[in-house]
Amino acid sequence: MRQMLSMQGSWSNRWVFILAAMGSSVGLGNIWLFPIMVGQYGGGAFILLYLCCMLLVAVPIMMAEVVIGRHARQNPVNAIEGAAVSAGASRHWRLVGVLAIFCGFLIFSYYSVVAGWVLHYLVAMIFGQLNGLGVDQTSRFFNALLADSQMLLLWHSLFVLLVIWVLAQRVERGLDRAMRFLMPVLFLMLFMLLGFALTTGEFVPATEYLFNFHLQDIGWDAVLIALGHSFFTLALGVGVIMAYSAYMGKGDAIAPTVIAIGVFDTLVAMLIGLVVVTVVMAAQMELRSGPGLLFVTLPVAFTQLPGGQVFGFLFFLLAAVAALTSAISLLEPATAWLTERFRWSRARAVSLLGVLAWGLGVAALYSLGQLPDLKLLGVSIFDLIDITTTILFLPLGGIAVAVLAGWVLDKEVLTAELALSSPSLASLWLWLLRFIAPSAVGLIFVMNLYNALYS
Ligand code: PHE
């Protein structure tokens, strides 16, 4: 059944939807992966490549998610099932929605553990515990934190509670209000950090590092990395964008909104990258990616610079807000599904989900700390969740959405909902969804699988 409005509520306007989608896309990935990726794989050339991947693959898939979500005004499982059935296809297509929702739930469980690390560093920055420490000492600080499961349990629980609190309310009072407050705060902090970076004297070299064109560094690996990252960062394949779109206004133009989200996310990633690279260069340290960058290199770099404790604190606050808005989005599809499927209140649905994800997170954090034997298939629970979700489920979800929208659903209904200005643009969109997107994402999937099994 087609509904006029979602039972969860709706965004106050199109901009709040954009803010919420950006909140979902700007996350830890923008901070600890993107800057280094750009530096390693060709600077400006990589950014150009990344934009192409985004426009040709990620944006069409995101448009499909928005179209399906807004058309049904229901959670991803019902939305997909309804669209498949009315196109005369099997209702079992809803399994795509189930898989996506489950994947978001799994990512949430370990993402909130990492957010707990960020909170711990935030407090350590306030109390100056990291001041004057070198790389070795900060590494020890980080390892001691990973081993301190009780401390991590505290931060993890606090973070999960915060997410539950936001999601427990109707969209207008919860999600909408949170995004209207948190996202401007995030942008403000980013501009203050940019101001700080400008004073260090390393801004120009950092710009060169990030944006100079090195075509020779672009190879197949760069293409795969750019594609894979566009998926993770734009929160595709996990039902988040589909769920958020159910709360969108009928008259809002979809294509420009989706392109704006992609462009803003890339802009923010580049600005965060500028801050990160400038600060690390100003402290004359080596750039590396992943947790080591955020939890070892950056604290050392910030605290070595004048005024660094304050701006280091601000940086971790930015990371915490980015992690929070992403985490909130990860649990929304499952929350919407439980409330619509069983007629539960949002508070009840998100409490149950929160507790389950919290428990899984606890297993993940103990598997990194006090219970190193907590392993499955030879890897820690933490790594297992990380690998299965980002490497396998995410691309699978993306392929499924592309195939569903490109081949299975009713073209007329989709293009009517999308309401593009010209029919040839609509054909281009369908063509990208049918051929380009599934083969490109399929390639990432196969390569990821190969790498996971053989390296
Ligand atoms: N986009 C987030 C990041 O870059 C992570 C995320 C993935 C959020 C999938 C929602 C859905 O960290």
60-75 per-position pLDDT tens digit: 999 999 999 999 999 9
Torsional class of 377: left (φ above 0), alpha (ψ -120 to 50), beta (otherwise)? left
Count the residues in the chain: 455
Q: Does ligand 1 come within 6 angstroms of the Cβ of 326?
A: yes
Specify whether the CB–CB gap between 257 and 18 falls below 8 A: yes
Confidence band for 449, pLDDT divided at 50, 70 and 90 = confident
Specify whether the CB–CB gap between 391 and 448 falls below 8 A: yes
Q: SS3 sequence, 347-366?
A: HHHHHHHHHHHHHHHHHHHH
Token representation of residue 300? 């050392």
Residue 201 CA, ligand 1 centroid: distance in Å: 32
Q: Does ligand 1 come within 6 angstroms of the Cβ of 24?
A: yes
Which amino acid, residue 438?
P
Closest CA to 111 of 395, 322, 376, 336: 322
pLDDT at 455 over 80: no
Separation of alpha carbons 186 and 23, rounded Å? 9
Phi, psi for residue 213 in degrees, rounded to 5: -80, 115
In percent, the amount of the chain with pLDDT more than 90 equals 85
| Atom 3 of ligand 1, residue of closest alpha carbon | 27
pLDDT at res. 371: 79
Confidence band for 2, pLDDT divided at 50, 70 and 90 = low
Q: Which of 232-241, 281-290, 423-432 has the lowest mean pLDDT?
A: 281-290
Q: Does ligand 1 come within 6 angstroms of the Cβ of 238?
A: yes
Mean pLDDT of 176-202: 97
Closest CA to 435 of 57, 52, 55, 83: 57
Residue 380: strand pairing partners = 375
Taking CA 2 as the corner, what is the angle to CA 60 and CA 13, rounded to the nearest 5 degrees? Answer: 60
| Atom 10 of ligand 1, residue of closest alpha carbon | 235
Report the Cα–Cα distance between both ends of the chain, in Å, rounded. Answer: 48
pLDDT at res. 454: 83
Specify whether the CB–CB gap between 49 and 222 falls below 8 A: yes
Torsional class of 419: left (φ above 0), alpha (ψ -120 to 50), beta (otherwise)? left
Q: What is the DSSP letter of 213?
A: B
What residues contact 27, with CB distance under 8 A and at least 6 apart? 111, 233, 322, 323, 325, 326
Token representation of residue 414? 């989709």
Residue 87 CA, ligand 1 centroid: distance in Å: 31
Q: State the closest ligand 1 atom to the C-alpha of 234, by its place in the atom list counted from 1.
A: 1
Separation of alpha carbons 121 and 108, rounded Å? 20
Separation of alpha carbons 3 and 336, rounded Å? 15
Closest CA to 160 of 199, 125, 114, 203: 114
Residue with the bigger pLDDT between 2 and 274: it is 274
Distances (CA, A) of 178 to 119, 228, 338, 347, 397: 18, 29, 22, 16, 27
Q: Does ligand 1 come within 6 angstroms of the Cβ of 25?
A: yes
pLDDT at 163 over 90: yes
Number of H helices, E strands in the chain: 23, 2
Token representation of residue 130? 């990291």
Mean pLDDT of 429-455: 90
pLDDT at res. 305: 93
Q: Does ligand 1 come within 6 angstroms of the Cβ of 30?
A: yes
Mean pLDDT of 170-185: 97
pLDDT at 184 over 80: yes
- pLDDT, tens only, 370-409: 777 777 777 888 888 988 898 889 999 999 999 999 999 9
Closest CA to 336 of 194, 165, 167, 173: 167
CB atoms within 10 A of CB 343: 8
- pLDDT, tens only, 257-280: 999 999 999 999 999 999 999 999
Specify whether the CB–CB gap between 104 and 360 falls below 8 A: no
Confidence band for 1, pLDDT divided at 50, 70 and 90 = very low
What residues contact 324, with CB distance under 8 A and at least 6 apart? 115, 159, 162, 163, 182
Mean pLDDT of 350-354: 98
Separation of alpha carbons 39 and 207, rounded Å? 10
Phi, psi for residue 129 in degrees, rounded to 5: -65, -20
Q: Does ligand 1 come within 6 angstroms of the Cβ of 8?
A: no
pLDDT at res. 374: 74
Q: Provide the whole-model pTM.
A: 0.95
- pLDDT, tens only, 76-134: 999 999 999 999 999 999 999 999 999 999 999 999 999 999 999 999 999 999 999 99
| Atom 12 of ligand 1, residue of closest alpha carbon | 27
Phi, psi for residue 43 in degrees, rounded to 5: 55, -125
- pLDDT, tens only, 295-346: 999 999 999 999 999 999 999 999 999 999 999 999 999 999 999 999 999 9
Confidence band for 159, pLDDT divided at 50, 70 and 90 = very high
pLDDT at res. 299: 96
Residue 21 CA, ligand 1 centroid: distance in Å: 10
| Atom 2 of ligand 1, residue of closest alpha carbon | 27
